[in-house]
Amino acid sequence: MPAEAASAAHSLPPLVDLIGIWLAAFLTLAIYSFLYGDNPVYKFAEHIFVGVSAGYFVVIAYHEAIINDLIKPLFRPQEVGLERPAYSLIIAGVLGLMILARFIPRYDWLSRWPLAFLFGLGAGVSIPANIHGIVIPQLRETIRPLLVPGDWWTAFSNVLLAGGLICTLFYFFFSVEHKGALRYVARTGMFFLMVGFGAGFGNTVMARLSLLIGRIEFLRYEWWPTVVELFHRLVG
């Protein structure tokens, strides 16, 4: 990338790309201006971001879902490789239209049917899949031998895993008062939780810095060369 940037310093990208790069640079700096304090430039950039994101999503969803999954299979089946119209989609289309009844107070009860269908379908699909694919495999993975002859490190890891799991679960067990020896079990659970939160927070710091690094890389290797080149051309 630095090499590409160096070569880019001697030539400007096409005008459309150049405008895009400058717009992106302006919006980046506008968003970061919030760190100094709330200001109209930041608000402007924020509103543009929200508006463009929503607009982009609506256009893509309309094209991919409504046109490709409903209109074409029903009215232009050959375009999507079907021999005859998929009439069953009429049910889905009607259910989809019923959701829009929420905007008409007199008929807003109609929207409950497609929502009930969605919730029922979602729960029916996801509950067994999550129990089978997430909960059970993860539970199974916590059941490990505590004594591994010849491999004391694995044995230690397994004891730590089992101990951490039991203590952490006990921390959230409120039917017994946490006093006496049980207090230490709960406190150990809290210690494991704190280690987990610490790891999570450390990763979060790394992630947020990565976003800043990404923007600085953009400014340094895509925007700055155009600034230098434009300056040279203007000055001569």
Cα 231 to Cα 21: distance, rounded to the nearest angstrom: 16
Nearer to other proteins, 178 or 223 (CB): 223
Cα 86 to Cα 71: distance, rounded to the nearest angstrom: 10
Which string of b and e fits 176-192 if b means at least 16 CB within 10 Å? eebeeeeeebbebbeeb
Total residues interacting with other proteins, rule: CB under 8 A: 44
Nearer to other proteins, 212 or 230 (CB): 212
Residue 118 CA to chain centroid, in angstroms?
Answer: 22
193 contributes a contact to other proteins by CB under 8 A: no
Nearer to other proteins, 11 or 175 (CB): 11
56 contributes a contact to other proteins by CB under 8 A: yes
Nearer to other proteins, 46 or 69 (CB): 69
CA distances (Å), origin 18, targets 21, 28, 52, 109, 219: 5, 15, 19, 51, 13
We find the least distance from the C-beta atom of residue 200 to other proteins, in angstroms, to be: 5
Please identify, among the stretches 7-15, 54-62, 104-112, 146-154, the one whose residues bind other proteins according to the rule CB under 8 A.
Answer: 54-62
Task: Count CA atoms within 13 Å of residue 59 on its CB side.
Answer: 6
Q: How many residues in total does the chain contain? A: 236
55 contributes a contact to other proteins by CB under 8 A: no
Residue 164 identity: G
Among 147, 176, 207, 235, binds other proteins (CB under 8 A): 207
199 contributes a contact to other proteins by CB under 8 A: yes
Nearer to other proteins, 108 or 126 (CB): 126
We find the least distance from the C-beta atom of residue 137 to other proteins, in angstroms, to be: 5
Among 23, 50, 216, 228, binds other proteins (CB under 8 A): 216
Q: What is the separation, in whole angstroms, between the first and last Cα of the chain?
A: 27
Secondary structure class of 88 (helix, strand, coil): coil
User: Binding pattern to other proteins, positions 108-147, x when CB under 8 A?
Assistant: --------------x--xx--xx-xxx--xx-xx------
CA distances (Å), origin 101, targets 109, 216, 229: 8, 47, 56
Q: At what angle do helices 112-130 and 89-99 cross, to 10 degrees?
A: 110
217 contributes a contact to other proteins by CB under 8 A: yes
Q: Which residues bind other proteins (CB under 8 A)?
A: 1-2, 35-36, 56-57, 60-61, 64-65, 69, 80-81, 122, 125-126, 129-130, 132-134, 137-138, 140-141, 196, 199-200, 203-207, 209-217, 220-221
